[in-house]
Amino acid sequence: MSQGFGTIAKYRVKPGHEKELTADMEKFDESPPEGWKYLTVFRSTENPNEVWLCVVFDSEQSYKKNADSPEMDGEYKRLLQHLESEPEWHDGHVIHEAMRKVATR
């Protein structure tokens, strides 16, 4: 059974655009769409202008609803200003996820 649905994307960031890209991502965090669970972004150790994004929604339906929305189209167009080329997208169902539990006091 799927634990969510999302994408892993590979971005090639234009030199000097990392701060602007990060600021745009933070705007997304402030007002996430319905069904959004989490976002993780990694920077390559081999190429600092290459990043991978992993975003997960609670279902394929909520992921596609967001992807097809006018709001996300505007976000995507803004994102492209910071990239050397179109991102590579790899969509799929989450089949396992784990996080370390942190003790609360």
Give the pLDDT confidence of 46-92 residue by residue, as tens digits: 999 999 999 999 999 999 999 999 999 998 998 999 999 999 999 99
pTM assigned to the model: 0.86
- Which of 90, 68, 72, 69 shows the shortest CA–CA distance to 7? 90
User: What domains, with CATH codes, occur in the chain?
Assistant: 5-93 (3.30.70.100)
Token reading at 46: 């081999």
Give CA–CA dist 92/9, Å, rounded.
11
Give CA–CA dist 59/93, Å, rounded.
8
Kindly indicate the confidence band of residue 1, based on its pLDDT and cuts at 50, 70 and 90. Answer: low
